[in-house]
Structure 1
């Protein structure tokens, strides 16, 4: 008996180094060096796609020029520098920040506590922010006023709607711009700008409820056949929905005008005529900015209330684990349809404003690239966070415009892609993530829970050695 025991102990001693070797992670599999590899690959790709273009008859001329020039070394220096700063200086900087926070805990704690305790201070802060946003277009040039209205304002409205579908309900949608097209064509139809004339023409303010209802119906029509689909399969179906809407707008020339769009007619501008008060929005972008800001404030207020309601909590449960949500009594069919419908409603508002501001629309204004851009803005800003998706959309729309004088227009999206890659390597939760998402990612990194914290693959919680 003792011999067997001794022998077993000896086998355990011999097996211990083998188990340790199995648990050891090779240096090239460590997260730090894997991130370095990703940064180097990104630098090489960006150097080639933004460098010399290929020529017919010599397929490798561009590669030779890009790899032998100085541009690739500059890109490598930039990306490797970012990696070095993040890997080796982040910890000392975090310790220094923690020390500073400890030293100023008293004053800052009193201020933050006062803001949390006194609702009047919070409303005062929000009021100051709103005043700044109101006067913002008066502080910039006309070009940036156009950017604020035609791009930043429109994409913020779209990002808020897509955040409902992706950030709250966890359903990947690659065809969201189709609802934007439906809203724009609703404005063109009800103002008599399309070849197909309406039974009666309406003011654009009256068109907005009709466009919202139309987008709601379209969201339900998209959601109903896809309720059993998840992940990549759902994304493919939504992409197909976009293609259906896009091809109808392009080929149904008797109704939409096809690629000619609303030409020679023009979509009516917004106007108010109350007898004692009459005003029409014209070419000046500032009134359109204030109109967008007003709609955005109302939508954000309603969506924040919705996020913390029973509907919002049901969306969160579906995003984390749809099977578990259904098992606990959540009507997943109903709430997924609500997510598609409510998310699409903001696109109706954005579409009407866009069509009225531009005065002309056609099918080529609603290509699938716009859906990809809106999705990128939501992920960059922080899925599930309304302030995050708004900040992400504003920043990523502003950046290419700011670089317009130093970057070739054909390369702007390449730079945007590089920014997204770096962001996903070092801050996958987004620019301003929601508290829930931040906690999920932190627990996933610590191994406390399974899943990746991105709303897919969430499973039952487990700890340490209890994992299967």
Structure 2
């Protein structure tokens, strides 16, 4: 009994100290609000909001000190996500693909929903690309947004200076990002863990600063506008065009801005499905098994004769290529690129998708992307508090599933014992 009282007393003291620190930090950030009154500004005190923030910090720290997190982990172990067999997974994947294809023609489909689905698929594709580097090869990359930016700016520059369209620039963007991935891979071949993360973080910032300061080529902070959008086999999505028929005129349809949005959605859906097939195929090839060997033990990987230099460079190159293709689509969708779209926060979100979904899990990336894209949208009506709730949800999920939503590393190849060998063993 005395031990329990001592534990509770220590937890109470720790929570109180944390609440006092939170009060000091939150007073200028949460306690006051700058308001505009017709040109005059004034500071308004928000005591109730400040009190709510301090109480939330106090209770959260108290629960953590009382080891409520271990209770949540225990509950998470009891609530297991269902595991599907290979045939069930194939059926579920087929249903999801059919539903995704039919989404734009559904009566409830709107521009907002298609834009949200397009954003979701972009992050899925980026997550699968980073999953090659982080999940399969075990190389921590905090500068993945650099390859995303490389693909976007490749399309913007090729269209501005050479007049190339989206389809012509798409493979070039993937090649440019892959080349950049190899250039990143060479300096970090002998780095691991935190040192690798620091170098890749610096690499991402270097690319962003180049885009920001090389004004003569990249436009600097003003970016590049007028990036061409993908056409439908030469048909534009304009109401009318002097250069030829438009999409609506060719098919005899009434013009609608939703037609271009739906076409962009189908493009990124096709790219995402190709990425899924490509990455799944890579897992079963020797290079995919080499990535898994490198992830599990680099020393053992070298001991069996694998060239870790080629293994690492291939992971960086192929992961970067997928990021570059996604960046090329992003630039075509927006019609404008600027360095503000490629900050470290984007790398953090993509890495969170891979970690939250489960390292190396393809379907985990899909679920995590849905969570990270959907949660902020669900909380949009909460205005300035939605990101706070988003962070709380992330913490709870990671406590509940510390190894990711779909944890578990399944080997790409499993060894089977021939029946003759088994018979010999039984006879012995």
Mark yes or no: TM-score above 0.5: yes
Structure 1 window deviating more from structure 2 (221-230 vs 129-138): it is 129-138
1:285 to 249, 256, 261: 261
How far the C-alpha of 1:231 sits from its partner, in A, is 0.9
1:177 and 2:155 matched: no
Q: Tell me, what secondary structure is at the counterpart of 2:380?
A: coil
List runs of 5+ in structure 2 lacking aligned partners.
35-43, 236-243, 249-255, 412-428
How far the C-alpha of 1:260 sits from its partner, in A, is 1.3
List runs of 5+ in structure 1 lacking aligned partners.
1-25, 99-107, 438-468
2:194 to 221, 227, 232: 232
What is the match of residue 130 of structure 2?
Answer: 162
1:269 to 221, 226, 229: 229
What is the match of residue 248 of structure 1?
Answer: 210
1:145 to 90, 114, 131: 114
1:386 and 2:355 matched: no
Equivalent runs, 1:279-318 vs 2, <5 Å = 279=247, 284-318=260-294
1:52 to 25, 30, 33: 30
- Please tell me whether the aligned partners of residues 46 and 415 of structure 1 are also in contact (alpha carbons under 8 angstroms): no
CA deviation string 1:198-248 (max 9, x = no partner):
2xx223112111011101100000001110011111111111111221111
Q: TM-score with structure 2 length normalisation?
A: 0.75
Equivalent runs, 1:10-25 vs 2, <5 Å = none
1:186 and 2:146 matched: no
Distance 1:414 1:436, change over 3 A: farther
1:425 and 2:393 matched: no
Give the Cα–Cα distance (whole angstroms) in 2 for the partners of residues 315 and 278 of structure 1.
47
Give the Cα–Cα distance (whole angstroms) in 1 for the partners of residues 24 and 94 of structure 2.
45
- Please tell me whether the aligned partners of residues 226 and 237 of structure 1 are also in contact (alpha carbons under 8 angstroms): yes
How far the C-alpha of 1:89 sits from its partner, in A, is 10
1:321 and 2:333 matched: no
Q: TM-score with structure 1 length normalisation?
A: 0.69
Give the Cα–Cα distance (whole angstroms) in 1 for the partners of residues 397 and 100 of structure 2.
27
Give the Cα–Cα distance (whole angstroms) in 2 for the partners of residues 293 and 245 of structure 1.
28
Distance 1:153 1:45, change over 3 A: farther
Distance 1:90 1:277, change over 3 A: farther
- Please tell me whether the aligned partners of residues 31 and 49 of structure 2 are also in contact (alpha carbons under 8 angstroms): no
Distance 1:73 1:205, change over 3 A: same
Q: Tell me, what secondary structure is at the counterpart of 1:171?
A: coil
- Please tell me whether the aligned partners of residues 125 and 322 of structure 2 are also in contact (alpha carbons under 8 angstroms): yes
What is the number of equivalent residue pairs in this alignment?
373
Give the Cα–Cα distance (whole angstroms) in 1 for the partners of residues 24 and 390 of structure 2.
14
What is the match of residue 219 of structure 2?
Answer: 257
Q: Tell me, what secondary structure is at the counterpart of 1:405?
A: helix
- Please tell me whether the aligned partners of residues 47 and 72 of structure 1 are also in contact (alpha carbons under 8 angstroms): no
2:388 to 405, 414, 430: 414
1:205 and 2:167 matched: yes
How far the C-alpha of 1:415 sits from its partner, in A, is 2.9
1:359 to 335, 354, 378: 335
What is the match of residue 381 of structure 2?
Answer: 405
Give the Cα–Cα distance (whole angstroms) in 1 for the partners of residues 308 and 293 of structure 2.
9
CA deviation string 1:29-67 (max 9, x = no partner):
x9xx99xx99x979x9699769824579xxxx9998667
What is the match of residue 40 of structure 2?
Answer: none
How far the C-alpha of 1:389 sits from its partner, in A, is 1.2
2:94 to 97, 120, 127: 127
Higher relative contact order (CA 8 A, sep 6+): 2
Distance 1:432 1:89, change over 3 A: closer
Give the Cα–Cα distance (whole angstroms) in 1 for the partners of residues 318 and 168 of structure 2.
19
- Please tell me whether the aligned partners of residues 223 and 340 of structure 1 are also in contact (alpha carbons under 8 angstroms): yes
What is the match of residue 396 of structure 1?
Answer: 372
What is the match of residue 414 of structure 2?
Answer: none
Give the Cα–Cα distance (whole angstroms) in 2 for the partners of residues 125 and 294 of structure 1.
18
